[in-house]
Amino acid sequence: MRINLNIDKEISPKKPLVPPPYSVPSDTLNNVLKLSSNTLLNLQHPDGYWWFTLEANETIGAEFILLMHFLGEVDPPIQTGVINRILQVQREDGSWGLYHTAPGDLSATVECYFSLRLAGFSPDAEPLQKAKKFILENGGLTEVRVFTRIHLALFGLIPWELCPIMPPEMMLLPPWAPVNIYHFSSWARASIVPLLVILNKKPVVKLNGINLEELYKEPPGQRKWAPSRKTSPLSIERLFLVIDKGLKYLDRVPFKPWRPYTFEKAIDWVWEHMQKTEDIYPALAYGAMAFKAFGLPNDSIQIQTALKALKSFQQKYDSDSPPALPFSKEEVPSPWSLVHSPSPIIHQQCCISPVWDTPWALVALLEADLIKPHDKRLLKAGRWLLSKEVTNPNGDWRFKNPEGIAGGWSFEFKNEYFPDVDDTIEVLTTLYFLPIPEEEKKPAMDRGLAWLLSMQNDDGGWGAFDKNNDLDLLNKIPFSDHGACLDPSTPDITGRAIELLIKLGMSAEEKIIKKAIRFLKKSQENFGGWYGRWGVNYIYGTWTVLTALQTLGKENPLVKESRKACQWLKSIQNEDGGFSESPESYVKKKFLPYPESVPSQTAWAVMGLVAGGEAYSLAAQKGIQFLLDRADADGVWEEKYSTGTGFPGHFYIRYHGYRYYFPLLALARYKKAIS
């Protein structure tokens, strides 16, 4: 099999024969394209990359306050800034939600309430009184999720017995064992390993004057803690609850000569990974707690490394919302130093996304075609991406893919253990179009492509970080009440993989493509759309799949499926021409819109229609008109909604970059389709 890396190849959407019902004003379209391109280019970091803010829910800030108090090392200015952020986004009903417009969430509200108490707020303070009312009306403390229980147990507010147990001996299981740490998804694994130390060391930091008794609905003798998940009597979940009780009974046996060694293995694993990654918030925070529970002092390099990384996620601001950029161009290149300046509000990001933002910004600029590909600013960004290639042969992906060749890209500035398929696809797409000399880019592209091909799952699709990471039993253990312990194939990533491979010259007759197409055919929803794992939700998944099928041209075997998907997109369009979708669609397992149209999701829908041969349709025209009407004087779109997905049903992200580069990309693809 040979893949042609000819950068002159272009794939244009099929032009329909139906004349347009009306035309979008070309002057307006060209003007917005120019304004948006210039604005996006001006947001480039001096080092060449783009890096936008990631905004999630307030458990992230609350848990950073918990971490500081657990370590006994509170930075007052940071605590004040984070508390101001928590108070800023509290709802009128006293709650905190998982995303903008989401209903209040009990566990998130309990964690925010607890962080305010730790910061010195009286339970009689108005914000806490309002939060308390919401908590009690929604079941009280006994109904919180597993991770919230763990956070309460760390401070002796509930007994460790109420938390699931996970034997640290898991660290001793070989890769070929039926279950080991590498059967969990990368994000779950990065938290589970430090939790193996925490859950078995059972550290407790005593508090003076805080017991959260005010958050219980029942008196002490009548409290019944809800199981970590709802189960039926004969279910697998109920069996795991019984096993959990048995493990807790065995854990009381005092003679465990192997236990110190298992702790050392876990601590070594956490430290080895932490030195070479900028991972997500929970993994870093639990890593710091595990080091502390293991006996390391606060000034140890391990704990200080975790704290430095977490502080690098923080940004200061003094307005209604965090700025789009996590850095100030006047204060680069040390973003983590910014939090030490006086600041009324500090936002704790969950992670950072420069290697995701940069290629998308580049693709949008390249397809808008107003800035030439040879522009030194674009080439600088491309070379920055080349410098971020991950070549660590011992990444975690190796355990499920031992024959794979190291390559690819990760999400953050640095993450040598966790390259991911989605970022790798977008970086390869960008490098394919950028006129960087072949001798400079081809070796990295070849490695990245080889790694990508090796990561295809047996079912024909691709997951994000691991191969064949789909042992469904792990989503049923008591620890996994969030249901996010796996990384199976998903239509959105699979669609994007097909799109890239066809662009690079792979034939639709190749076995790799045929397997992937079969996966997409099997995974189409009855209503016509496709599930989106990493973007909300069916609009995102449908766009990526339609774009993949478009690249197949006449060889597309899913023509009927494509038409059905386009008809579904048309059916959900709002009256103003825009589109939107709420994360509630993950919970209800059906399409549900936000209260208003969202620019980034409108862009996805329009790009899906364009890819499906519907550029001249009334729906596509109205979608483009919506984007033109909503662009401000700088060619920027405002949106306050979460359109990125961390864990479906539990964790969502407002990617501030999405409102910059996705509408621009949609306008560019529409213009090209009708030219």
Q: Among the options 105, 279, 357, 422, which is catalytic?
A: 422
124 is catalytic: no
Question: Which H or E run includes 346?
Answer: strand 345-348
3-class state of residue 636 by DSSP: coil
| Phi and psi torsions of 487, nearest 5° | -135, 65
What is the helix, strand, coil percentage profile of the chain, to 5?
50, 5, 45
Residue 278 zone, left/alpha/beta (φ > 0; ψ -120 to 50; rest): beta
- What three-state secondary structure class fits 54? strand
Residue 201 makes CB contacts below 8 A (sequence gap 6+) with: 263, 293, 294
What are the C-alpha distances in Å from 505 to residues 10, 114, 549? Answer: 11, 56, 15
Q: How far apart are CA 537 and CA 581, in angstroms?
A: 7
Asked if 94 contacts 132 with a C-beta cutoff of 8 angstroms, the reply is yes
Picking from 315, 322, 354, the residue whose alpha carbon sits closest to that of residue 338 is 315
Look up tokens 């989605």; give the residue: 422
Task: Supply the Cα-derived Rg of the chain in whole angstroms.
Answer: 25
Query: What is the rounded CA–CA span in Å between residue 256 and residue 260?
Result: 8
Is residue 325 within 8 Å of 627, Cβ to Cβ? no
- Shortest CA distance to 421 belongs to which of 377, 374, 453? 453
Please list, in sequence order, all residues whose beta carbon lies within 8 angstroms of the beta carbon of residue 497, skipping any fewer than 6 positions away.
421, 425, 452, 456, 462, 516, 548
Q: How is residue 497 written in tokens?
A: 């993989």
What Å distances lie between residue 331 and 46, 273, 386, 468, 656, CA to CA?
11, 29, 25, 43, 20
Residue bearing tokens 């199981």: 227
CB 487 within 8 A of CB 465: yes
How many CA within 13 A on the CB side of residue 413? 16
Tell me the catalytic residues. Answer: 422
